[in-house]
């Protein structure tokens, strides 16, 4: 596979820069979860990178480090009902807006992971593969992932027959089979095709 060389990130001349990322666009169940993080430049955190590249142990350690050292953190979300009403793209944008609005300090500039920005009240820039390239987005991806994964483990305690702790709601073969066998609970996104199919039977 050819390695893609991305251009260097140019940081704007602001002190209060937030990074925003989402977790949970693909799952069939649960909220889409976003996080916004403003890091403290005087308290650097070692090891920040794309949350998908980190072990559960490392994720937990970095989650705690971000909570202790960041200037401020906010989590935003959209529920399965909102996802069904708006579609997953618009729900993700809304969840990002909620995360930024929830910050206790208003950022001067926002980096968003991906290729589009939600409408915000301050300048922002979308960065493809931002969770690998911008430390503020890396921190947001870790907060969002750990938050959502923990929620999936809690859901697993209530409905162990679905295997949520293992697949985190993503449409694996085992998950789709469990869905077909056990039916649709209220936490499912009813507009997503595998869920739609079960509802139509």
Please give the residue range of the domain that contains residue 128. Answer: 17-150
Question: Hey, CA dihedral for 64, 42, 117, 93, is it positive or negative?
Answer: positive
What pLDDT is recorded for position 5? Answer: 60
In a domain, 66, yes or no: yes
pLDDT in tens, 59-80: 999 999 999 999 999 999 999 9
Q: pTM of this prediction?
A: 0.94
In a domain, 184, yes or no: no
Place 13 in a pLDDT band, splitting at 50, 70 and 90: confident
pLDDT in tens, 100-124: 999 999 999 999 999 999 999 999 9
In a domain, 69, yes or no: yes
CATH number where 46 lies:
3.30.420.10
- Round to whole Å and give the CA distance between 63 and 139: 8
Lowest average pLDDT, out of 6-15, 38-47, 140-149, goes to 6-15
Count structural domains, the chain.
1
In a domain, 135, yes or no: yes
At residue 175, what are phi and psi to the nearest 5 degrees?
-70, -45
In a domain, 106, yes or no: yes
Element (H, E) at 124: strand 124-127
- Among candidates 51, 95, 99, 92, which has minimal Cα distance to 74? 99
pLDDT in tens, 164-199: 999 999 999 999 999 999 999 999 999 999 999 999
In a domain, 12, yes or no: no
What pLDDT is recorded for position 2? Answer: 45
In a domain, 11, yes or no: no
What pLDDT is recorded for position 55? Answer: 94
In a domain, 93, yes or no: yes
Mean pLDDT of 35-49: 96
pLDDT at position 8 over 80: no
Place 81 in a pLDDT band, splitting at 50, 70 and 90: very high
What pLDDT is recorded for position 86? Answer: 98
pLDDT at position 1 over 90: no
pLDDT at position 57 over 90: yes
pLDDT at position 160 over 90: yes
Element (H, E) at 23: strand 17-23
What pLDDT is recorded for position 10? Answer: 82
Q: What is the mean pLDDT of the chain?
A: 95
């Amino acid at each position: 596979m050819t390695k893609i060389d991305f251009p260097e990130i140019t940081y704007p001349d602001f002190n209060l820069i937030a990074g925003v990322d989402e977790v949970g666009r693909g799952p069939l169940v649960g909220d889409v979860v976003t996080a916004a993080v403003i890091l403290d430049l005087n308290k650097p955190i070692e090891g920040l990178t794309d949350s998908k590249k980190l072990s559960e142990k490392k994720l937990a350690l970095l989650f705690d480090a971000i909570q202790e050292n960041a200037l401020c953190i906010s989590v935003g979300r959209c529920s399965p009902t909102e996802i069904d009403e708006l579609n997953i793209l618009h729900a993700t944008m809304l969840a990002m807006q909620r995360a930024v609005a929830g910050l206790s300090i208003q950022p001067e500039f926002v980096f968003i992971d991906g290729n589009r920005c939600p409408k915000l009240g301050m300048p922002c820039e979308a960065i493809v593969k931002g969770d690998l390239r911008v430390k503020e987005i890396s921190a947001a991806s870790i907060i969002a992932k750990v938050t959502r994964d923990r929620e999936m483990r809690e859901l697993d305690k209530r409905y162990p027959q679905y295997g949520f702790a293992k697949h985190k709601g993503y449409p694996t073969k085992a998950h789709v089979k469990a869905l077909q066998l056990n039916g649709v609970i209220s936490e499912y996104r009813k507009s997503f095709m595998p869920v739609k199919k079960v509802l139509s039977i």
